[in-house]
Amino acid sequence: MHIPDGILSAPVLASFGAASAAGIAISARRAESLTEARRIPLLGVLGAFVFAAQMVNFPVGPGASGHLLGGALLAVTLGPWAATITMTAILLVQALVFQDGGVLALAANVFNMALLGVWSAWWAYRGLERLGQVRLGVFVAAFLSVTLSAGLALAQVVVSGAELSPGLVFFCGGLFVVTGLIEGAITVAAWEAIAKLEGRSTEPKRLLWPILAASGVVMLVGVFFASQSPDVLEVFNEKTGAASRSRELFAGLLPDYEWRTLPWEWLGKTMAGLVGLLLLYGVSMLLVRLMPKQPQE
Amino acid sequence: MTDPRASLLLLLAYLAALASVPVGHNVALTGLCVLPLGLMLYFRAPASLFAKAAYVLPFSFALAAVALLRGQTAAAVFFLFRSYVSILAVLLATHLVSTLELLRAMERLGAPRFLILVTEFLLRYLDVLRQEADAMRLAALCRGAAHSRLVAAASLGMLFVRSLERSTAIHAAMLARGFRGQFPRREALRWQWRDSLLLAGGLVILFAIRLSL
């Protein structure tokens, strides 16, 4: 999501640079008027917390782990103005010290993550908080903050001249949604742990089914779209002939990626894709189990 | 000693010139590439910058791979080369000018002071919080904690609460050292004639390369 220098075109940089500069100037003025001087170190330390929190690996499913990205957590705990400034400070340090994202590309990165990411999270959180759904609010805030900023970053890259096939754009969209779901789960867990340590009570757990249902819908839609448009993997297949070989190999198991007993063609493709994904996941898990474990330091 | 504002403005102008080179204009791109290479030689910057610039390129590698698979070899090489040179220029600038100096230059050039203050506090406590996270990870290993969601969530929560405590302690320390609610204004940077000369010369060279090639 951190776009490096040399990718975006001059018009994209200029337009998002102007929008970011205005947004940050307003946010800094509002944050300064709302933040007492004694809280300024807090913003810096929470910015450093986001860096440190990225060292904590969070298991999100068998064999998979992720880490906190932090935009929504900052918005929920600091409010949108201060969170925008803290997020911008994080992006500045990432660009200048770690070369994670470009210096000129800060124009776009700040807009995507510090403005769109923080404010979309804040509005989602506030809206659901007013309906009494605080936990769901935190989850949706984190999900939107990641998916919207990543989606806009991808759009900026495409507008700048990178030619991506529709299939690849859908694939990236799927990845963003998965990352958003992981960020949502981690943010809710961190938010609950903070509430527990601060002695605040949290709502009972009612999120599992909505999250599972959302994941299922996203997966079905993603697999359906992936089955409709040609993508880079298909180009790769055409060039290397891997498709025909793998088709021959798996012909007995998933003939032509269709489950012939199902009535609708698209549902057949979707279900076959889903089974294929689960199969791949199982094989990966088996490989991880079979690999020798590295000794702990 | 060069004013950091001149260095920052030159870096931004260079990156903007690179960004304005359209795909396929390889002569202009090559012309612009010569500048950071010449400066690296002049300032005897370590050759490790070349490796570091390549190390931080996964995003560009992905884009280049997509273009390659679509048969657009020239576009792939162009994207990769342009982003590599951009990162090399940033690495050279941060090698020659410290991050704090660059932040000071940004403030003097109009970046909000509040943002710069927050960034300075972030930089100051970056390693402190990372060491804290490392110590917590070591402690978890020592007590044989499982790699579970519960442990990770508790670690994040604890790290957050410790960050809050740390910021309270920082404020107490600031008060003990005479902080009265206002951050002091810093000494102004000194812009000298040679900075004007450097900036004007740099911009002329950039424009000349960009417009002539």
Give the up-direction half-sphere exposure of residue A292: CA atoms within 13 A in the CB hemisphere.
2
Contact A85 B114 (CB under 8 A): yes
Q: Output the DSSP codes for B121-184.
A: HHHHHHHHHHHHHHHHHHHHHHTT--S-HHHHHHHHHHHHHHHHHHHHHHHHHHHHTT--S-PP
The token pair that represents A218 in the structure block:
């996203």
With CA atoms as reference, the chain A residue closest to B115 would be: A85
With CA atoms as reference, the chain A residue closest to B174 would be: A38
**Buried b vs exposed e over A153-170: b needs ≥16 C-beta within 10 Å?**
bbebbeebebebbebbbb
pLDDT of residue A152: 94
Q: Is A56 on the interface with B (CB under 8 A)?
A: yes
Please, which residues have CB within 8 angstroms of residue A286's CB and are 6 or more apart in sequence? Answer: none
ipTM for the predicted complex comes to: 0.89
pLDDT of residue B78: 84
Rounded CA-CA distance B205/B182 in Å is 43
Residue A60, φ and ψ in degrees, nearest 5? -115, 5
Contact A89 B119 (CB under 8 A): yes
Of the candidates A13, A52, A198, the beta carbon closest to that of B19 is on A13
In this structure, are residues B105 and B119 in contact, taking their beta carbons and an 8 Å threshold? no
| ∠ Cα A254 A257 A258 (to 5°) | 90
pLDDT of residue A53: 85
Give B126's contacts in chain A (Cβ within 8 Å).
48, 51, 93
User: In whole angstroms, how far apart are CA A95 and each of A5, A67, A102, A104?
Assistant: 10, 19, 6, 9
In this structure, are residues A7 and B86 in contact, taking their beta carbons and an 8 Å threshold? no
Write out pLDDT tens, residues A198-215: 776 555 555 556 666 666
Write out pLDDT tens, residues A249-280: 445 554 444 445 555 566 666 666 667 667 76
Nearest to B159, CA basis, from A190, A79, A91, A186: A190
User: In whole angstroms, how far apart are CA A42 and each of A46, B24, B101, B180?
Assistant: 6, 48, 23, 17
| Coil, strand or helix at B1 | coil
Contact A85 B123 (CB under 8 A): no
What's A116's DSSP letter?
Answer: I
Give A94's contacts in chain B (Cβ within 8 Å).
none
Contact A235 B70 (CB under 8 A): yes
Give A25's contacts in chain B (Cβ within 8 Å).
112
pLDDT tens per residue across all 213 residues of chain B: 788 999 999 999 999 998 888 877 888 888 888 888 988 999 898 988 888 888 767 777 877 888 788 787 888 888 888 888 999 999 999 999 999 999 999 999 999 999 999 999 999 999 999 898 888 888 888 887 777 777 788 888 888 888 888 888 888 888 888 877 667 767 777 888 898 999 999 999 988 888 876
Contact B152 A235 (CB under 8 A): no
For residue A222, pLDDT beyond 70: no
Place of tokens 């903050």: A145
Burial of A73 (0-12, 13-18, 19+ CB in 10 A): buried
User: In whole angstroms, how far apart are CA B3 and each of A113, B7, B35, B101?
Assistant: 31, 7, 20, 9
Report the mean per-residue pLDDT for chain B: 86
Rounded CA-CA distance B111/A28 in Å is 10
Nearest to A61, CA basis, from A275, A243, A285, A229: A285
With CA atoms as reference, the chain B residue closest to A85 would be: B115
Q: Is A244 on the interface with B (CB under 8 A)?
A: no
The token pair that represents B64 in the structure block:
């280049």
With CA atoms as reference, the chain A residue closest to B12 would be: A104
Interface test with A, best of B156, B177, B179, B206 (most A CBs within 10 A): B156
pTM for the predicted model, two decimal places:
0.80
Place of tokens 């050039």: B109
Q: CA of A180 to nearest chain B CA: how many angstroms apart?
A: 17
